[in-house]
Amino acid sequence: MSHTPHHPHHGLAQFEKLSEYLDRELDELTCQDIERHAKNCIACRVCLETLKQTVMLCHSINHDEKPVPPDFAIRLKETIKALCRDKG
């Protein structure tokens, strides 16, 4: 497959919108422009695919929720209890 040589300013408009493209926040026509450009421009295709994976990794680590440390949970509970008692 032949690739269109990448020029830093060629496709700049598409480059700026890659996140909106991944978030499905663009209209159909702009999506098609990006897809057409990425098909022929390896630099932008690499950027798009690595950016997409980066976003998916960020989403994934969100599932790794740490529990509240027990000593802090107790301290917080006591603080809130005292607050409720004072204002109640």
| Per-residue mark of binding to another protein, 9-28 (x: CB under 8 A) | ---x--xx-xxx--x-x---
Assess 70 for contact with another protein (CB under 8 A).
no
Tokens 């040589």, located at residue: 5
If the CB atoms of residues 35 and 80 are measured against another protein, the closer one turns out to be 80
**Smallest distance from another protein to CB 69, Å:** 7
Of 13, 35, 56, 74, the one binding another protein by CB under 8 A: 56
Does 64 participate in binding another protein (rule CB under 8 A)? yes
